[in-house]
Amino acid sequence: MFDCPVRTRTESRKATRFRNALLDNGFVMKQFSVYLKPVKSLDVGRNLVKKISRFVPDNSSVSFLYITDKQYLMTENYLGKNYEENEEEMREKEGQLLLF
């Protein structure tokens, strides 16, 4: 989870560089400033955090939260009606299929 300043062009570039570092290392975006990545163990997660932390922009607030598989499986997600319609429209426009 992070909050990066983007008031100037330089801040914006550094924030984008940080987000790209997350994506390049296998994170997926849950919300604009919340990214997730499952890892095999706490040690693997800590090593990844060391790698990613080099990209944290100045004056930013970044938190890495470690949760167990069991805790993650207890996640409850709720989607509002408009969200579902927007997601479906996006899939249709992009030609994506949703498989279950």
Could you tell me if residue 93 is inside a domain?
no
- Residue 79 to residue 76: CA distance in whole angstroms: 10
Q: Is the Cβ–Cβ distance between 31 and 22 less than 8 Å?
A: no
Please give the single-letter amino acid code of residue 90: M
Could you tell me if residue 74 is inside a domain?
no
- Find the domain containing 15 and state its range: 2-69
Could you tell me if residue 55 is inside a domain?
yes
Q: State pLDDT tens for residues 54-88.
A: 999 999 999 999 999 899 889 887 777 776 666 66
Q: Is the Cβ–Cβ distance between 28 and 36 less than 8 Å?
A: yes
Averaged pLDDT of the chain: 87
What is the 8-class DSSP label of residue 1?
A: -
Could you tell me if residue 39 is inside a domain?
yes
> Per this entry, what is the length of the chain?
100
Q: State pLDDT tens for residues 13-27.
A: 999 999 999 999 999
How many structural domains comprise the chain?
1
Could you tell me if residue 64 is inside a domain?
yes
